[in-house]
A and B are shown apart, each in its own frame.
Chain A
Amino acid sequence: MNASHNFRKTSAAAVADEVLGAAVGKTANILFSLRGAAVAGYPGFEELRDWGRSRKMEVSGDLGPYARRFADRLEAAGGHAHFARDGREAVEIIKAIAGRVGAASAVKSKSMTAEEISCNEGLAHAGVTVTETDLGEFIIQLAGEKPSHIVAPAIHKDRAQVAELFHEALGSAPGLDVGDLVRVARKALREQFLSADIGITGANFAVAQTGTIAIVTNEGNGRLTSALPSVQIVVAGIDKMIPELSDLPGFLTLLTRSATGQVISSYVTMITGPRRQGEEDGPKELHVVLLDNGRSALASGRFREMLHCLHCGACLNSCPVYRAVGGHAYESVYPGPMGDVLSPLLWGMDAYPDLPDACTLCGRCAEVCPMRIPLPEYHRKLRVLRAGLKGEAAGWRAQAWASMAENPLLYRAGVGAVRRVLSHVRGLPAKMNGGLPGAWTLCRELPHPQEGPDFRSWWEKRQKGPSGKPE
């Protein structure tokens, strides 16, 4: 990213788009309600959240050793582990594998970590055509767009837009309903599955104890991607570690109930090593690219619990800001509350200076986060970090206002002055329209004090009054 992200600009454009707002709001609300029902139907869910958090605390406190243990077990099972310090290294590793096996095409199941490293663009440069096989990803790949939700990547599109897109790009009949659209996609994808040289997947969990990768999908595309091509490449952040195989059921419950309100997803694929002798299916080569890209640094800092994120999307679905603007306005792989925090941490505050402010501190995300990540608190901490970077934290303005506010006499004089102004002023003078007062009056009038005396005068008069309680 060259110029820094301007969320005021992108969010203003997004809220003006009525179709976008309706589509995102509707689906996010459905997912949010499904989550609510699924959690209510699981009596021990709150305890499970505590358990999940404590388990991930063990991992984030010891990230490197867990990842190395996973790599050892994977190699023992016949797979290949590759450590990548950043996205560029990860893409180079993937390109080298593709080059060595002479790959011309790849199928890919949904992976936000692969998005994070711009995997498709990298492979395209190496002459490998990548086909997205998750239906939502397939749609946005055809449209030449980016995912706008970490679980439901095409959440910003409605049925009519998808029908139009398939008509133009795939030559299907215009105005198809949802069932027919799925059939069109399935037919197009089947051919790709059978001919692809490489399958690329993400990982929802990586089990350190056994070197196992677990992938959660609802369309079966993850299974085909990992079973049909002769080479499979898994892109996994090192934060995806869980200690043992016996931890998997608990984490799956936390993930699927929070993400889509499902008791369990339609498919849970567990992969330990490549095809073994005597087996007929599965890749002959299995590579797992273990991506750091800033994660080790997070582990030792104030935002450590971001590494516990399961990428379930519950915070997006609950967030009033995300619901109003959709994912693209964030201009990051990771939108919504988790993205507000991750984007400046992974790509720098200079790249995303506004995202710490993309939060009303309403607290709903923290209420639904399966891992109890303190997202509102992290937004506050990022604001402190940003003020520090800009040298504003101890700046004279903040100090001057604090000096006034902590002095009872100055404070009372200030309150009186503001009351007088707000009692008489109805509109803003034109020269103030550009600043913060102008931002307020963009959609609101100036506030007016309630009728009657100010509270302090009333109180004082009442304390002194002959009857004790006038008024």
Chain B
Amino acid sequence: MKISLLLTCTADVLYPASARACVRVFEALGVEVIFPRLQTCCGQPWLNTGRPDGARRLALHFLEVFEDAENVVAISSSCADTVRNHYAELFPDSVLLRERFQEVAGRTYEFCEFLHRVLGVKNMPSHPHPVRTTYHSSCRTLRGIGLRGVAEEYLGQMLGADFVPLAENETCCGFGGSFSVKLPEVSGRLLEDKLQNITATGASLVASLDLSCLTHLSTGAERLKLNGIRFLHLAELMAGALA
């Protein structure tokens, strides 16, 4: 089995360790990882700010890079969601392009989803150094990818009683891309509410499958001086458990 890694620009800039962890997890599970070097950004910023021309250009670039991949696995849910649920509709006038995008969308997955749905991983070994951890579900994981309860199950297997579910876990953290800077007061309120729920779990670690949410949560926590909490991608915990 081969996967082509969709690194995403967030991992490119901010989360290289999460990306390395994804590679290690796949290798531990016997999956060959391919990294297409010519990949760039999925185009989501253009898609979400009313610039479909830009989004189309990035979508076409994605197609050029990934069309022949056996499977595409994105490290962050919102990017997987963009490829899967939004590329085709950017090309209403071309049946051919829509079909090509739908075809590659059918082979594109979010990281944890791929483990669960394609590899059929049922069990994660226990983590050698468990710490109290909670999980931020992320809107795109839940409602874009349609993955509910899977990450929580893996976390329970790895961490046992050290995994603590988060209250109001289906509520947005307030990031929303351009939303975070267009309406920063509302965004900040949602962020604060989310961080309050996180603090209430007593967790020193927050895992997620969306790097944008992790960025939002960690920079908000730093502002509130919640220095004892670390934010990381689920793959980093899995890499520790599978090592």
Interface on A for B, CB 8 Å cutoff?
7-8, 11-12, 15-16, 21, 320-321, 324-325, 354, 356-364, 366-367, 380, 382-388, 392-394, 398-399, 401-403, 405-408, 411, 415, 418-419, 422, 436, 439-440, 442-456, 458-459, 471
B189 touches A324 (CB 8 A): yes
- Name the residue of chain A whose CB is nearest to the CB of B89: A377
Chain B residues with CB below 8 A from A359, complex form: 176, 179
- Name the residue of chain A whose CB is nearest to the CB of B139: A362
When the two chains form the complex, which single residue of A324, A387, A458 contacts B16, counting CB atoms closer than 8 Å? Answer: A458
A415 touches B176 (CB 8 A): no
Interface on B for A, CB 8 Å cutoff?
7, 9, 11-20, 23, 35, 37-41, 43, 45-54, 57-58, 60-61, 139-140, 142-144, 170-172, 174-193, 215-216, 218-220, 222-223
Given contacts A447-B219, A459-B35, contact A402 B178 (CB under 8 A): no
Docked Cα-Cα span, A14 to B50, in Å, equals 27
Chain A residues with CB below 8 A from B38, complex form: 408
Given contacts A380-B50, A444-B216, contact A321 B20 (CB under 8 A): no
A402 touches B54 (CB 8 A): yes
B14 touches A444 (CB 8 A): no
A398 touches B51 (CB 8 A): yes
Chain A residues with CB below 8 A from B41, complex form: 405, 411
Interface pairs (28), CB distance under 8 Å: A11-B183, A11-B185, A320-B174, A357-B179, A360-B187, A361-B176, A362-B139, A367-B143, A380-B48, A383-B49, A385-B50, A392-B50, A402-B51, A405-B9, A405-B40, A405-B58, A407-B40, A419-B13, A436-B181, A439-B182, A443-B184, A443-B187, A443-B191, A444-B219, A444-B223, A452-B16, A452-B17, A459-B23
A361 touches B48 (CB 8 A): yes
Docked Cα-Cα span, A231 to B56, in Å, equals 57
Chain A residues with CB below 8 A from B177, complex form: 361
B37 touches A456 (CB 8 A): yes
Given contacts A15-B185, A363-B144, contact A405 B176 (CB under 8 A): no
B12 touches A454 (CB 8 A): yes
CB distance from B12 to the nearest CB of A (A): 5
When the two chains form the complex, which single residue of A363, A387, A439, A452 contacts B20, counting CB atoms closer than 8 Å? Answer: A452
Chain B residues with CB below 8 A from A415, complex form: 9, 12-13
B13 touches A363 (CB 8 A): no
Given contacts A361-B48, A364-B143, A418-B13, contact A440 B180 (CB under 8 A): yes
Chain B residues with CB below 8 A from A8, complex form: 182-183, 185
Chain B residues with CB below 8 A from A354, complex form: 182
CB distance from A467 to the nearest CB of B (A): 14
B16 touches A449 (CB 8 A): yes
Docked Cα-Cα span, A411 to B185, in Å, equals 31
Docked Cα-Cα span, A471 to B162, in Å, equals 29
A449 touches B13 (CB 8 A): yes
A357 touches B182 (CB 8 A): yes
- Name the residue of chain B whose CB is nearest to the CB of A401: B54
- Name the residue of chain B whose CB is nearest to the CB of A12: B185
- Name the residue of chain A whose CB is nearest to the CB of B59: A406
CB distance from B103 to the nearest CB of A (A): 21
Chain A residues with CB below 8 A from B186, complex form: 11-12, 15, 321, 324-325
When the two chains form the complex, which single residue of A7, A408, A411, A447 contacts B215, counting CB atoms closer than 8 Å? Answer: A447
A384 touches B52 (CB 8 A): yes
Docked Cα-Cα span, A418 to B215, in Å, equals 15
- Name the residue of chain B whose CB is nearest to the CB of A457: B16
CB distance from B180 to the nearest CB of A (A): 7
B181 touches A439 (CB 8 A): yes
A406 touches B183 (CB 8 A): no
Docked Cα-Cα span, A408 to B12, in Å, equals 12
CB distance from B76 to the nearest CB of A (A): 13
B184 touches A439 (CB 8 A): yes
A398 touches B53 (CB 8 A): yes
Docked Cα-Cα span, A363 to B176, in Å, equals 11
- Name the residue of chain A whose CB is nearest to the CB of B138: A362
Chain A residues with CB below 8 A from B175, complex form: 360
Q: Find the residue from A359, A360, A405, A456 having the highest chain B CB count within 10 A.
A: A360
